[in-house]
Chain A
Amino acid sequence: MKEERKKRLIRLAIWTWSWVATLAVATFGPKYIWEENTFWTTLAIGLNLVNGVLMISANRSLFNHYDELERKIHLETMGLTLGLTVVTGLSYSLLDQTNLISSNAEISFLVMFISITYLVTLMINRKRYL
């Protein structure tokens, strides 16, 4: 059981890191590597998308290997993270639209918010059950 878990975790780590790498290439490549060439930009974005789908598949495979308590912990964590992200994200967007904040509402802030919320909620839930 532990060996199988390790295998699936490593697979997820590999796909996650390669997704981050392809995202970086797709983001900075047009400006610094291939001088806005449309073909290479489309290819880089396509590659990033395919890599992202494989990362989700690896995540699903790991999730399917969780036992019932781990699933409960992660599902509660995901639910809370989703709710908080929708509410906070929309408030943040409204702040931008109404010009109450000087900076633009960037998607990267939302991604950071999701990561931190997931991490904190997961720690709280683990403490609750384990």
Chain B
Amino acid sequence: MKNRVHGLRKQRKLTQEQLGEIIGVSRQTINAIEKEKFDPSLPTAFKMAKLFQLPIEEFFFFEEDK
């Protein structure tokens, strides 16, 4: 799944550590999400949506496996 978490985090001048603290995951998890190595759970995605004040589909883009 593609996402633009990195850009949104930078816009809000947050470090990975700070974003992780706010939504309750580790810095490494934020890094893995930004690098698109790991897709977060629905509760984590909703927490991000609340923080970024955007609907989930505005920053997570589902792609069917080819």
Asked if A70 is an interface residue, CB under 8 A from chain B, the answer is yes
- Chain B's interface size range is 10 to 19
Cα–Cα distance between A73 and B8 once the two chains are bound (Å): 26
Cα–Cα distance between A72 and B41 once the two chains are bound (Å): 11
Q: A68 near B29 (CB under 8 angstroms)? A: yes
Q: B21 near A69 (CB under 8 angstroms)? A: no
Cα–Cα distance between A38 and B35 once the two chains are bound (Å): 60
Cα–Cα distance between A72 and B25 once the two chains are bound (Å): 13
Asked if A33 is an interface residue, CB under 8 A from chain B, the answer is no
Q: B29 near A70 (CB under 8 angstroms)? A: yes
Q: A129 near B37 (CB under 8 angstroms)? A: yes
Query: Given A129-B32, A130-B32, A70 and B38 touching (CB < 8 A)?
Result: no
User: Across the two chains, which residue of chain A brings its CB closest to B26?
Assistant: A67
Q: B26 near A70 (CB under 8 angstroms)? A: yes
Taking CB atoms and an 8 Å cut-off, the chain A residues in 1-29 that contact chain B are 1
Taking CB atoms and an 8 Å cut-off, the chain A residues in 37-95 that contact chain B are 67-70, 72
**Chain A residues near B44 (CB-CB < 8 A):** 68
**Chain A residues near B32 (CB-CB < 8 A):** 69, 129-130
A residues near B, CB below 8 A?
A: 1, 67-70, 72, 128-130
B residues near A, CB below 8 A?
A: 21, 24-26, 28-29, 31-32, 37-38, 40-41, 44
